[in-house]
Amino acid sequence: MTPELDRRGFLAACTRAGIVSPLMPGILYTLAAQAQEPGSGGKQPELPKITQEMIDQAAELAGVGPFTEEQKKTMLDGLNNQRGSYQPIREMKLENSVPPAYVFHPLPAGAILQTPRQPNPSSRRIEVSAPAHIEDLAFATIGDLSALLRARKITSLALTQMYISRLNRYDPKLHFVITLIEERALAKARQADEEIGAGKYRGSLHGIPWGAKDLLAVKGYPTTWGAGGFEHQSFDEDATVAQRLDAAGAVLVVKFTLGALAMGDVWFGGRTRNPWNTEQGSSGSSAGSASGVAAGCVGFAIGSETLGSISSPCTRCGVTGLRPTFGFVPRTGAMALSWTMDKLGPICRSVEDCALVLEAIHGPDGKDMSAASASFDWNPDFDWRSLRIGYLKSEFDPPEPFKPREAAPDESDEGKKKREIENQRGQAAHERRIYDRRYDLAALDKLRSMGVNLIAVELPKLPYGAMARVLEAEAAAAFDDLTMSGRDRLLTAQGPGDWPNTFRIARFYPAVEYIQANRARTVAIRQVSALFEQVDVIVAPTFGEQLVCTNLTGHPALIVPNGLRGDNAPRPLKIEDTDRDDIGGPGTPVSITFLAGHYQDARLAAFANAYQQATGFQKLHPKLD
């Protein structure tokens, strides 16, 4: 029987039984797999027949039913037949680069894209003097470095050698390098110097050394995804973003760390550290990209975000990150985690630097079908005063009082210890939120002092956290082979919230609920987009409901440094060496986030740039020696 007939049989059986919400087949597959006898000779044992008891268990997991005895009897043949359709697809060994046969676009119905026009001037002409020592440029912006290179006051070779030296010097402390690309980088730097000397100037990125998050493929070098078991993986083609930066004359010097398979800052070589406080992790998953830029070890870096992976490390490390509109930058050659949520973007020292990088990497490539042909009309002289600015009023309100979890009547010693740690973390997070709120409020005061008339707005009241389950389902599909083969045990992190466990749980997520969650996203896209008919830019704390919301709806975000915590800041916990325990503390950075409508990234950058120029926080950098 063909898979299509199996599917029809299953649906017919459900219809006859009066069931309109079929279970996710993976639930029954998993239950049956758990019931099978161990195999021999390396062959897949035959799965036992699905039973009525399994249907009851699966119904509880899926939150449907209960079913009558007659309904369950009617379902059995269809369910057993349908299960037979899984194995032929599994035997295809689908690569991570193979997308599903559907394309996600975040625009609401009726939205019109601005098509590319003649580009505006990329950057101002800057007069900069060459320093006595090349290392004095370690924290310089792309604009400053570009002006010096174009005027031939420094060479790309000298700049590249300086950054390579710093990468070697600080990697033992920060653990942010996976692969140093020295030979290729030096050759590209020499080429850039020759071209600039001959008057063949390619633009603002020509000769600028940069680093790639190691989920971007670069031919001839490993692309490890930060994960145990993938240390020697490589691809025969460069990612589109790497190709475009090569074409712009930028010089790739390093492949930076990322938390394994784009989660957190723990990779197969350890934990990437925060240059402001090396006892803390750098957060993730763009862990090395943010740490490397903050430490003055590259001119800029490329990161990615699915649900906070640019926002969080940029906040922790005090650098500027642009998470573009979903579909602005093609992801061809990048590891897929969630086809409907993954976004690539620049991590830099300033907003203007981010704009210069996005200018070079945006636009469709004919391969990533989600990539849209939209314009990025960056103009550093844009009159940001013409923009209507909103702020998410409730997200600036004081946090609700922390309520510790109380002991259960039959609490064990282990349960008591777990509860006490949970309460400690909750109390610490509450105290940190109270302290950090002063920086959020100071940002609003600063904007008002700039003449901005802030308009109070609120996010639509929708279940964003429930919708975000689509990420876990897509990630489990992207790495299905890890779960099914047992190779997930090679990943460094194996806790309840880490990928191996998350992938297993996601196999119990019903297909119908996945579709319903995406339908709910359509509602969210419409309602959040309606906000940007009232205002052009929205100011928000970096963390909170907006982070989940806008990652689901595909709206762009710019994360900018917003000062350093004072000596009176709450001290971070020291329960374990985990991402949850090492947040904050005296002398560490905070951030503020600006949001905009779909493909309004240029106007978003213009406004965030104005705030950054007025505050100057981007000029702060850590003391590493």
Q: What is the DSSP string of 130-184?
A: PPSSGGGGTT--HHHHHHHHHTTSS-HHHHHHHHHHHHHHHHHHH--EEEE-HHH
Q: Using an 8 Å Cβ cutoff, are 233 and 96 in contact?
A: no
**Residue 20: its pLDDT value, please?**
36
**Residue 476: its pLDDT value, please?**
95
Q: What angle do CA 106, 108, 114 make, to 5 degrees?
A: 80
- CATH code, domain with 299: 3.90.1300.10
**Residue 2: its pLDDT value, please?**
36
Q: Which of 153-167, 446-460, 497-511, 535-549 has the lowest mean pLDDT?
A: 497-511
pTM of the model: 0.90
pLDDT band at 32 (very low <50, low <70, confident <90, very high): low
- Who wins on pLDDT, 7 or 82? 82
Counting the structural domains of the chain, the total is: 2
Question: If you average pLDDT over residues 108-115, what whole number do you get?
Answer: 85
**Residue 564: its pLDDT value, please?**
98
Q: Indicate whether 5 pLDDT > 50.
A: no
Scored b (16 or more CB within 10 A) or e, 589-612 reads bbbbbbbbbbbbbbbbbbbbbbbb
Q: What is the pLDDT of residues 243-275, one digit of tens each?
A: 999 999 999 999 999 999 999 999 999 999 999
Q: What is the pLDDT of residues 425-444, one digit of tens each?
A: 999 999 999 999 999 999 99
User: 């006051």: which residue's tokens?
Assistant: 153
Please indicate, yes or no, whether residues 228 and 84 belong to a single structural domain of this protein: no
Please indicate, yes or no, whether residues 57 and 163 belong to a single structural domain of this protein: no
Question: If you average pLDDT over residues 357-363, what whole number do you get?
Answer: 98
Please indicate, yes or no, whether residues 241 and 351 belong to a single structural domain of this protein: yes
Q: Indicate whether 82 pLDDT > 80.
A: no
Q: Which of 92, 126, 157 is the last residue of a domain?
A: 92
**Domain-embedded: residue 322:** yes
- Who wins on pLDDT, 46 or 471? 471
Angle of the 52-62 helix axis to the 69-83 helix axis, nearest 10? 90
**Domain-embedded: residue 405:** no
**Domain-embedded: residue 500:** no
Q: Where are the alpha helices (DSSP H) in 468-557?
A: 469-478, 480-485, 499-506, 511-534, 545-553
**Residue 110: its pLDDT value, please?**
87
CA–CA dist 303, 256 (Å, integer): 9
Q: What is the mean pLDDT of the chain?
A: 90
Q: Is it true that the peptide bond before 622 is cis, omega within 30 degrees of 0?
A: no
Question: If you average pLDDT over residues 530-558, what whole number do you get?
Answer: 97
Torsion-angle region of 74 (φ positive above 0: left; ψ -120 to 50: alpha; else: beta): alpha
- Residue span of the structural domain in which 27 resides: 1-92
User: 């419409």: which residue's tokens?
Assistant: 526
pLDDT band at 178 (very low <50, low <70, confident <90, very high): very high
Q: Using an 8 Å Cβ cutoff, are 421 and 405 in contact?
A: no
Q: What is the pLDDT of residues 589-603, one digit of tens each?
A: 999 999 999 999 999
User: 């493909």: which residue's tokens?
Assistant: 599
pLDDT band at 71 (very low <50, low <70, confident <90, very high): confident
Q: Using an 8 Å Cβ cutoff, are 605 and 322 in contact?
A: yes
Q: What is the pLDDT of residues 228-241, one digit of tens each?
A: 999 999 999 999 99
Q: Using an 8 Å Cβ cutoff, are 555 and 460 in contact?
A: no
**Residue 3: its pLDDT value, please?**
35
In sequence order, what are the beta bridge partners of 211? 254, 301
Q: Measured on CA atoms in the order 23, 24, 25, 29, is the torsion positive or negative? A: negative
Scored b (16 or more CB within 10 A) or e, 255-283 reads bbbbbbbbbbbbbbbebbbbbbbbebbbb
Q: Indicate whether 34 pLDDT > 80.
A: no
**Residue 47: its pLDDT value, please?**
78
What is the DSSP-derived secondary structure letter of residue 597?
S
- Decide the pairing of beta strands 454-457 and 343-348: unpaired
Please indicate, yes or no, whether residues 295 and 385 belong to a single structural domain of this protein: yes
**Residue 172: its pLDDT value, please?**
98
- Decide the pairing of beta strands 177-180 and 537-540: unpaired
**Residue 212: its pLDDT value, please?**
99
**Residue 86: its pLDDT value, please?**
75
Count, residues in the chain: 625
Looking at 554-588, which runs of residues are DSSP E strands? Answer: 557-564
**Residue 125: its pLDDT value, please?**
63
pLDDT band at 543 (very low <50, low <70, confident <90, very high): very high
Q: Indicate whether 211 pLDDT > 90.
A: yes
**Domain-embedded: residue 499:** no
CA–CA dist 6, 12 (Å, integer): 10
**Domain-embedded: residue 360:** yes
Question: If you average pLDDT over residues 456-470, what whole number do you get?
Answer: 96
Q: Indicate whether 22 pLDDT > 70.
A: no
Q: What is the pLDDT of residues 475-520, one digit of tens each?
A: 999 999 999 899 999 998 888 889 999 999 888 888 999 999 999 9
User: Which class for 516: exposed (0-12), middle (13-18), buried (19 or more C-beta within 10 A)?
Assistant: middle
**Residue 28: its pLDDT value, please?**
59
Q: Measured on CA atoms in the order 59, 65, 69, 75, is the torsion positive or negative? A: negative
Please indicate, yes or no, whether residues 170 and 315 belong to a single structural domain of this protein: yes
Q: Measured on CA atoms in the order 230, 231, 237, 238, is the torsion positive or negative? A: positive
Question: If you average pLDDT over residues 464-469, what whole number do you get?
Answer: 94
Question: If you average pLDDT over residues 307-332, what whole number do you get?
Answer: 98
Helix or strand run (H / E) with residue 346: strand 343-348
Please indicate, yes or no, whether residues 179 and 88 belong to a single structural domain of this protein: no
Tokens of 281: 């992790």
**Residue 48: its pLDDT value, please?**
84
Please indicate, yes or no, whether residues 60 and 197 belong to a single structural domain of this protein: no
Q: Indicate whether 138 pLDDT > 90.
A: yes
**Domain-embedded: residue 292:** yes
Q: What angle do CA 208, 236, 333 make, to 5 degrees?
A: 65
**Domain-embedded: residue 382:** yes
Tokens of 133: 């020592």
CA–CA dist 60, 66 (Å, integer): 8
Q: Measured on CA atoms in the order 134, 137, 141, 143, is the torsion positive or negative? A: negative
Q: Which of 58, 92, 126 is the last residue of a domain?
A: 92
**Residue 1: its pLDDT value, please?**
36
Helix or strand run (H / E) with residue 277: strand 277-281
Please indicate, yes or no, whether residues 56 and 180 belong to a single structural domain of this protein: no
Tokens of 272: 């990437």
**Domain-embedded: residue 320:** yes
